[in-house]
Every structure is written in structure tokens, then in C-alpha cells.
Structure 1
Amino acid sequence: MKKLIIDFDSTLVKIETLDKLAELALAENENKDEIVEEIKRITEMGMNGEITFPESLERRISLINTHKDIVESLARLIKEELSDSVLDNLDFFMKNRNDIFIISGGFKDLIFPTAEILGVYPKNILANDFVFDENGVLAGVDKENLMAKENGKVNQLKELNLSGELIMVGDGWTDYQVREFGVADKFIAYTENVSREKVVRKADIVVDNFNEVIGYFYKK
């Protein structure tokens, strides 16, 4: 039995959620454009494997001064950002929900509402946790969460110890690493929203829409 392990940002949805959070959180900041561009630059460095994920995460979060209310507002907006070919295949997700997992360096607070549309079980969502202070201000991330650490996706999936053929689907370097470390049997580079040459070169399969992922999932 095959299992799909799917990235969230720029794969299931069209956007990078932390970049979008920065745009909302810094809307009134006179240096918004410069800070958002720096966050996007750090995101790309991490996605291309130029810096470690924990470094990427810490540097970006340190630049975002925000509140739980804004996080919740963004979570509602993200539901409108499903990738086109994913939106066309909601029935596939519902039908195969026992064999579909979301793994993301993003945050559960931002992922859960959209995952609910897809029918993905909360227990099948592996992602980071925001930490807020008593006033609801973003204070950081839960550093004890495996996903906040180096090789988080790899180690989280090792801990799950899933059976069957594991297919990792994503657009970034940390998605490829799941295959590199032998946890996934196949890595599908997903390019509907963004194509990263360094990642594509490492892929077993390259697709530009979710129909092709479904085709491989059902292939005997």
C-alpha cells in the first residue's frame, strides 16, 4: 500500500505561509518591504538547502512581530490558496485520507483549516507549533518539536515508522532529504507553483500538477 507524504507551502497551497504572515503582520511597519524581502530571501535559501531549516525558521520568526489574531486571520485566508490541481481533486483526498499525510516546516495553526477542506486527519499533520505569550503575542516556536530541528521531516517520519511504499511530494530541499536519508521510497518534485532547479535535479519524478501524483499513486 502506498502512502503520500505531502509538503504544504508551495505544494498543496500556492504560497509560502510565513512570507504571507510577514506581509500581514508588518502591514503598518514603515520598513515592511525591506523586511518582507529579507524573509523571502531567507525562505529561498532554506528551500534550496543553502542554510539549515532551523536557522531559516529562527531568522524569519525573529523578524515577524505579530499576534495570534493575525495568525488566525491568515489561516482563514490560506483556505483560498489551494493549488489549482489540488482543488480539482478534493474527492481523491477524501477517498484516500487514511494514506495521506501532510508534513511541513510551517505551522499547525496555519495548516489545519485548509487540511480540513482536504479531509486530512489532524493526527496525520506533522508541522511546527507557534508559542504565544499570555497576551497572544508571538513569542517564538516550540523548539522541542522535531519539526523545528535539523532534519525534522526525516526524523519525524522515522518516528512514525509508516508501512508500505512512502512517496514524498514537495518543492523544497527538505522534501528531497526524506528520500536522500532513505525514509521515502520515491521523491516527486512538485512544480505547479515553483520549480527549484537544485531540487528537481534530485527527484525520481517531476510533476507540474496533482493529477500526475494521483496517476503514480494508483499505478500498479
Structure 2
Amino acid sequence: MVAASSASLAKAEAAGVKLDASPEIIQLLRKADAVTFDVDSTFCCDESIDEIAAFLGVGEQVAALTAQAMGGTVTFQEALAARLGAMQPSQDDMRRFLEQHPPQISPGIPELVAELRAQGKEVFLVSGGFRAVIHPIAEMLNIPVSHVFANTILYNADGSYAGFDPAEFPSRSGGKAEAVKHIKKTRNYQTVIMVGDGITDYEARAPGGADAFIGYGGVVFRENVARLSDWYVFSIPAITATLRASGSSPTA
């Protein structure tokens, strides 16, 4: 992962990507009520949908659809429907997958979560992935399940795949912005930061949604996302260090 980030650094610099936190970003981080994270390739260092697809023997087909969704060439709902249609994951499939694939938390995430809490900021997970995968990850870091916004796989009575819940915010393009708006409205938050690796994460920066978007390239570097980021990092600890340097943490 470090090598991949190093190889991408020159591209980011050439593209004029904002690799340093501006005073504005530092101020927003300092006063943020909450930080919302994408999960796949951000909070965790794998892409769970691709991992499930590989487990079910349709890895290459689904990986191509994931790349299209993250690159913004198709709507998220189209890509989600196509990927799940190819996978057809049953309840038993998901149970076996979770037993054999423990969460792979990205380096630095536990420390960042701890620092955010030390500064009185809430942590939310807003992901196009699946609740069945993300709830155990949240529980590992003592993040309430009520702070998770993700997709729900639906099943028939016999446990076979029946589709996905279209009412979940992240099931559609722009849904992450809607999730952040919901978080701000229901909790009366003024400032929320989004951290993620894909174009659907950047979409959370829509008016009324996230007040800033921190792009993350420590797993996958996407130049179009990097260009759009208010700040782009290749290391999660870079965010932690900036928070600590802000001087607002009682542990700084």
C-alpha cells in the first residue's frame, strides 16, 4: 500500500492536487462536529464487494463494475444492481464470507478514531458497501450501529438473493450527500467532514452536505477524485497529526 501511494505521488503533484492541509481545512477540522468515512478502500484497506465477488467466483466481472462506479462513469445504483445481479449472494454465502474474511482496518484508523473522540467529534460510516460487513467493523471500534449508513441485501424466505433495499441512502448516486444532510439535520451539526477514495464520496460535498472532502489515496489513487479533493492524503495518520497540531485536543 505504501509503494502504491509513493508511485502515485508524482501524478498527484503534476495534477496540482492539494496535498497540504490549507488553513481553511485545518479550521474546519478543528470545529467539525463529526467526520464521516467511506469504508471500502478508506476505513478498511480492501474493497469488500470485490472480495465477496471473488469469493463467489465472479471477481473480475464485478471488479470492472466497481471501477466504473468509483470513477463516476455510471450511476451508483446501476453499478450496485449489476454487481449484486452477477454475485447473487445468498444469506449462507454472506455468513461463510464473513467467517473467512475478518475486517482489514486501514493503518492509522484506530488512532484517528481515538483522536476524533478525544476532541469530542462523532464518527460515522457512510458506505456503498453492505451492513452485514460494516456492522462488525463498527462494533470493533465502538462506533454505534446507528452511525452506519450502508446498503442492505434483501433475501427470499429460503435465504436466496432477492435484491437490495432502495430506501438506504447509499444505494444511489448522490445518496452519500443525502446521508450527510440527514446526519446534520437530525443531530443539529453545523460542520461535517467526509473522508473517502471515490467519486461517490466527493458527492457528499454537495450543498448542505459535507463541508469539506478529504480524498484518500492510500489504497487506490483516482486522479479525478484527487483533483476534486479539498485536501488529498496518502496516509490516514496525516489527518491525525493535523488534528493534534490544531491544538484543540486535550491530549495534544
1:97/1:119 contact within 8 Å kept: no
Specify the code of the residue in structure 1 equivalent to 2:195: V
2:193/2:213 contact within 8 Å kept: yes
CA RMSD of aligned residues (A): 2.1
Give the corresponding residue for 2:194.
168
User: For residues 122-178 of structure 1, what are the alpha-carbon distances to aligned partners after superposition, in whole Å with 9 as ceiling and x for unaligned?
Assistant: 110011111011111121101222321231111122223251321110000011111
CA distance in 2, matches of 1:144, 1:15: 26
Give the corresponding residue for 2:94.
71
CA distance in 2, matches of 1:119, 1:93: 13
Higher RCO (C-alpha 8 Å, min separation 6): 2
Residues 75 and 213 from structure 1, CA distance in 2 versus in 1: closer, same or farther, beyond 3 angstroms?
Answer: farther
Unpaired stretches in structure 2, ≥5 consecutive residues: 1-30
CA distance in 1, matches of 2:210, 2:237: 20
2:89/2:160 contact within 8 Å kept: yes
1:97/1:121 contact within 8 Å kept: no
CA distance in 2, matches of 1:97, 1:115: 18
Query: Larger C-alpha radius of gyration, 1 or 2?
Result: 2
2:91/2:160 contact within 8 Å kept: yes
CA distance in 2, matches of 1:76, 1:121: 22
Partner SS, residue 81 of structure 1: coil
Point out the more displaced range, 123-132 or 173-182: 173-182
TM-score normalised by the chain length of structure 2: 0.77
Unpaired stretches in structure 1, ≥5 consecutive residues: 27-34
Give the corresponding residue for 2:241.
215
Q: Indicate whether 1:61 and 2:84 are aligned.
A: yes
1:39/1:63 contact within 8 Å kept: yes
Residues 94 and 25 from structure 1, CA distance in 2 versus in 1: closer, same or farther, beyond 3 angstroms?
Answer: farther
TM-score normalised by the chain length of structure 1: 0.87
Specify the code of the residue in structure 1 equivalent to 2:41: S
Identity of aligned residues (%): 28
CA distance in 2, matches of 1:100, 1:80: 18
